[in-house]
Structures are given as structure tokens and as C-alpha cells.
């Protein structure tokens, strides 16, 4: 049985991310945008360069590149924690 490496678009191999990310639930941009109450454009920009996100590219010569993102549950949680911590730190600064 041959093993196909996970392609994340960021040069991260499956061995670096851990094989558990392969089989955990993945979200689409639309699903996360709805869950978090944000625009799809904001969610796409937030995750496009995030390590662990699976990015499928569809390029046609002379046309724009289409990208489909699949965001593992653990990555979504990591980003949510990071964004929540940033917000808390900003709100708790002395005036």
C-alpha cells in the first residue's frame, strides 16, 4: 500500500503535521464563515496561509487561479484561540 503525502500548499508533509489531521473533520470556508458569523472573504484571508490548511489549486493558463480550502478542526480551533487571545490582550491593555 503506497502512502500519498498530504499536500497543504505550504510544504508541510504529513509527518510534520501528524497523521491525525488527515482523518479529523475539515471545514469549508462557507461552513466556518457561517459558524463564526463572518464573511467568507475574511475567513479565506484568515486561513489561506495558515499551516495545516489543505489548499487545492485549479489554474488555467491566462485565467485566475481557483483555490479550494479545507480547514481541519484543530487548525480552526488554533486560529480561534489565537484570535480570542489577541482580542483579550487588546481589550485588557491600560488606557
pLDDT in tens, 44-55: 999 999 999 999
| 3-class SS of residue 56 | strand
Q: Give percent of the chain with pLDDT exceeding 90.
A: 55
DSSP state of 65: P
pLDDT at residue 9, as a whole number: 44
pLDDT at residue 72, as a whole number: 96
Domain edges within the chain: 21-91
> What percent helix, strand, coil does the chain show, rounded to 5?
45, 15, 40
Give the pLDDT mean for 20-45: 93
Amino acid at each position: 500500500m503506497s502512502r500519498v503525502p498530504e499536500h497543504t500548499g505550504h510544504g508541510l508533509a504529513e509527518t510534520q503535521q501528524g497523521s491525525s489531521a488527515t482523518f479529523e473533520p475539515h471545514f469549508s470556508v462557507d461552513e466556518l464563515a457561517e459558524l463564526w458569523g463572518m464573511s467568507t472573504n475574511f475567513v479565506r484571508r484568515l486561513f489561506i496561509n495558515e499551516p495545516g490548511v489543505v489548499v487545492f489549486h485549479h489554474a488555467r493558463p491566462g485565467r485566475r487561479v481557483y483555490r479550494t480550502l479545507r480547514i481541519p478542526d484543530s487548525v480552526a480551533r488554533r486560529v480561534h484561540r489565537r484570535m480570542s487571545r489577541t482580542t483579550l490582550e487588546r481589550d485588557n491593555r491600560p488606557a
